[in-house]
Structure 1
Amino acid sequence: MMAVATVAFCIGGLLIAASGIFVLLMLSDLRALWILRRRRPAPAGAVGPVAFEATTEYGPAGPQTAPLSGEDCTWFRLTVLRTPSRATADSDHDVLLEIESPTWPVIADRGHHVPVDPRLVAPGALHDPIQTEPRITITTTVEQVPPPPIVPASILNDMRKNDRLRLIEVRVPRAVPVFATGRVTARGLRPSRLGLTILTPGTRAGTLATHQNSIRTGRTIAAALFLLGLLLATPSAVWLSPLL
């Protein structure tokens, strides 16, 4: 009986701790919702902290052709990875090549064209903005295929027999409605320094609704986990207390 009570107490404690994790996630959504409601929509040509709806559009370099899929797009990034034969995990790889469109992607609204920092479109480093909302990009990944001509032959000549080659293409289609928040400078839309940074398909209303639904779901799960944990841990603690 003591073993059962101990296990129940531990499981109850874990459930209560898990409810705390959902509360933290809910607080993040509450913060995002508060910022979005305070930041009123502005025209695409505004400067400083902004929130606006727009559409993906061709940049100064014109229409782009994604090198791996061959699809028309406004911007692309192709990353060529090599997984050595000695690798012990899929995360063990070398970046052989990274190619991007010659200009930043662009979003437009009412005649205003705003270049977008690629870090908002396809983060590539640990310090790039973290975004939980869906992204505006389409990703194509292939392995062990003849690479497109854009990949230099010198890279392929350095590969060993059992090395694996992986190509990852990230592209931005044209005419995708997006909602953006960030900081507009003379160069374009960049991550907010302290506030919220979002670049996601859809509208402001849709983004608000997503965060509201997430808060409701998180609240329900957190409450259920806390109550269930309390029901398990409290009787077990009462039964175990004389034995301590």
Structure 2
Amino acid sequence: MNDLISQLEVFLSQSRQIVVMTGAGVSAESGIATFRDHKESLWAKYDPTELASPEGFAKDPHQVWAWYQWRRQQIAVAQPNPAHYGIAKLAERHNLTLVTQNVDGLHYRAGSKNVYELHGDIMKDKCNASNCDYQQPAKNFEAPLTRCPKCQDEYLRPSVVWFGESLNADLLFKVEQATEQCSLFLSVGTSSQVYPAAGFAELAYRNGATIIEINPNATGLTSQVTLAINKPAGEVFAQLNLTG
């Protein structure tokens, strides 16, 4: 482990531009259950991929809203872990672009700035109408579902990207640009299975970047990486020298 940490520190020190991509494994270390890990909750009998979809919301908006309010309650009491803080510290010393598939906002709470949140922010509400731009921070995690106060037409919904929805095109373009230009791509706590996010590491690889993976288990990306550290991200960043 110490040898791997030393190698990671060398790569970081030699890199002019870094892209860090984080996934659900980083949030899981803060106690936030992944989509596929709600077996012990009251929502265990429901399929999260159906709840987190336009079809699920159209079928039963109150049920979907209640599920998201429950998730928000879990996230509100969660705290950033050493991976969140370590990445924020890295950004103070390097030209670093942080991209996350997570929606919990823990990177911001750890001090990161300008986080590219590919899948949105669960702690915000927005109008479900495509032609209404209303958005606000979610403050009451027990409040019932309400109509949009601006258009009075559609319901409010969490400001996240649901299954079947497209990611923000402008955001994708910015991430693609950073990925094409980076010299080091760091994949942290992600299974590298969900596209288009999983494709960014491949894009960096094709453009000659060094790829480093920090994840407890091997993934489809592992065969392409220069360095694989099969440990939880928080454990790795807790041992990383971020002051040199």
Q: TM-score, normalised by structure 2?
A: 0.25
Structure scoring higher RCO (CA < 8 A, sep ≥ 6) equals 1
Structure with more of its chain in strand, by fraction: 1
Structure with greater Cα Rg = 1
